[in-house]
Amino acid sequence: MTTAQPTRWFGPDFVAEQRSRYGHRRPEGRPLSYDLAVEDEYEPWRAWLDAQLALLPEKDAETYARNLWRDQNFWSDHIELAAGEALRASGLRVEYERLWGTQTPDWTVLDEAGQPLALVEVLTHSPSKEMYGRMRAWHNLVERVKEIPVPVVLTVAGPQDRPLDPPDARTAKRIAQDLRRYLLSPLHRTEFPSQGYTFLLQADRQTGTAMRAPAMRTILVPPSSMAGVVSAQPLVAGIDEKVRKYRALAEETGLPLIVAAGADKFTGLGIEQLDCLLNGEHTVTVQFNYGDTFIHAPMELQPGNPPRWAMPPELAGVLWVDNEFPFTAIWRPNATALRPAPDRLTGSWTR
């Protein structure tokens, strides 16, 4: 007797196909998720994805498998699948995108008899398309500079009152050519002007000599495009919008409404920022990298009046989904919810 094996969407055949499609390209021409798609160390991650898709209807699994590795879909699809896993942890069933009239909340939780227990909508806080574009443009230059066989570290001089615009692909190619000539020249310099940009040789703070990069290649540390204040306010504005969208359905069905929320890793947003907003704690979180010269525009702080977010009464609570594999979930209930989530659903979640 032969037992059918579960579909491996992201097994060896997928890895081989990704290597064949993108492996011959320069690194800057590959998806940002390429390493996760092909490297052996991320096999448990891919196996987890296979396990999640195996629980979906075949048509929905095919759609996920087709779109998940696109840069713009990567984190939102992961947060959605991880939310489904967290809901199943209660031992209850879940249904993906069940049709309720004209609306399809991401997940509907069902009891053992198949009766609905809760509606769950998923929200992922993501960078803007503009930020992704800037990151890709700087990544393009980083990969070109990496081909220079001189083990030094460079940064880019930039203004402190605004972000530094990245070069386009043609300019990046010319910059890499200029930097190759500079670094292979016998002349010793610490600044390298090129195409309207100035690149700075980084020194070791202890020895004062040029910082040595690992391996025989030049490392460029560009502006991160992510520098700035990390706040949960855009996230909770999105949660409020989800509640407005599904308020009538929750009232009509008498079911608790839960929003499962997470964030793209590039945003720097975590449960800590959400908790600060829920508790009215005045904490400012800033993220930046070594190559950033501009962090954030001036902002006014009001220590005596910190921002605070109150969950709307139609919301049973927020299920925070972490973006670190294996994607743990943390429950933040709404103490004033009109329709609280049942304990049998939330009892297995971290609080």
The whole-chain average pLDDT of the chain stands at 92
Are 205 and 113 contained in the same domain?
Answer: no
pLDDT of residue 301: 66
Are 119 and 200 contained in the same domain?
Answer: no
Give the residue from 184, 209, 224 where a domain finishes. 224
Are 245 and 338 contained in the same domain?
Answer: yes
pLDDT of residue 32: 82
- Within-domain flag for 192: yes
- Within-domain flag for 97: yes
Are 261 and 193 contained in the same domain?
Answer: no
- Within-domain flag for 66: no
Are 122 and 134 contained in the same domain?
Answer: no
Indicate the length of the chain as a whole number.
Answer: 351
pLDDT of residue 3: 46
> d(Cα 263, Cα 175) in Å, to the nearest integer?
34
Lowest mean pLDDT among 99-103, 117-121, 136-140, 242-246: 136-140
Are 143 and 121 contained in the same domain?
Answer: no
Are 122 and 234 contained in the same domain?
Answer: yes
Q: For residue 189, what are the CA distances in angstroms to 9, 64, 153, 173, 291?
A: 51, 51, 13, 21, 19
Contact 72, 104 (CB under 8 A): no
Are 331 and 240 contained in the same domain?
Answer: yes
Give the residue from 193, 224, 255 where a domain finishes. 224
Pair type for strands 191-194 and 107-110: unpaired
- Within-domain flag for 23: yes
Token pair, residue 314, equals: 């139609």
Are 237 and 341 contained in the same domain?
Answer: yes
Contact 301, 325 (CB under 8 A): no
- Within-domain flag for 1: no
- Over range 66-70, report the average pLDDT: 93
pLDDT of residue 220: 96
Number of domains forming the structure of the chain? 3
What confidence tens digit (pLDDT) does each residue in 127-182 have?
A: 888 888 898 899 999 999 999 999 999 999 999 889 999 999 999 999 999 999 99
- Within-domain flag for 269: yes
What confidence tens digit (pLDDT) does each residue in 208-267 have?
A: 888 998 888 999 999 998 888 899 999 999 999 999 999 999 999 999 999 999 999 989
Give the residue from 224, 244, 274 where a domain finishes. 224
Are 76 and 141 contained in the same domain?
Answer: no
Token pair, residue 271, equals: 């449960």
- Within-domain flag for 203: yes
Range of the domain at 43: 7-61
pLDDT of residue 218: 96
What confidence tens digit (pLDDT) does each residue in 13-25 have?
A: 999 999 999 999 8
pLDDT band of 6, cuts 50, 70, 90: low
Are 157 and 251 contained in the same domain?
Answer: no
> d(Cα 156, Cα 200) in Å, to the nearest integer?
6
Strand partners of residue 110: 93, 116
- Within-domain flag for 322: yes
Nearest CA among 69, 11, 68 for reference residue 40 = 11
Are 142 and 15 contained in the same domain?
Answer: no
Burial 214-245, CB ≥16 within 10 A → b, else e: eeeebbbbbbbbbbbebbbeebbebbeebbee
- Distance in Å from the first CA to the final CA of the chain: 46
- Over range 302-312, report the average pLDDT: 85
